[in-house]
Structure 1
Amino acid sequence: MLRHGQSFDPELDDQGCVLYPGGQEPMELGLLFRPYAFMEAGDEVADADGATWRFAHPWSWRSPQGQSGVPVWPLALRTRGGRRVEGEPVVSATVGGSHEGEEDTWRGLTGAEPVAP
């Protein structure tokens, strides 16, 4: 876990602190925001420009050709768990907004920059 305002640094081996849920210190945890809550790792989408992208985690998108970048919203889910998807569970979540909007919400809540490991 990182402190508020601290961005992840993929170059550091030891960063942040560890929570011990079974420890003596009282703690309360609550989810404030989950970027791309409508996506699952490994989902494949088509973006508004017709490009195909694979979702690894919120700040890591890859094209099948290995290119990095970000998809243009809205997104249409093609596969989930390696299977074709019926319906459009992702389109309705991405009609409004953008990848940049997800990043901005993250920045506002964490005081940190979103960094892909």
Structure 2
Amino acid sequence: MPHTPPGRSQAGADAPHEHQHSYIANNTKGDYLKRLRRIEGQARGLQRMVEEEKYCIDILTQISAMTKALEAVALGLLDEHMAHCVVDAVAAGGEEAQIKLKEASDAIARLVRS
């Protein structure tokens, strides 16, 4: 059974804009996973800091570092999407190009709001 990305129904999984994710093809999957595991460790560290009632400013500093790390992953994935998925769709033209551009625009809007 194919993987259905979060926020998409299984029925929509066969839509024309579903495809193999290019960041895997570019051998960057391992880099993203390593970064996300580091962020996971930061989250556990934050939990310990709260449990141990560490100084509030120290906790906030760590939250800021974790937020920046997540933003770096998000920007890397967005860059991959723009460089491959969007460029390929625009080169092919048609409705697929509009779909990919809208997805990228929506993703950027979500990042800016967060």
TM (norm. structure 2) is 0.30
Larger Rg: 2
Structure with greater strand percent = 1
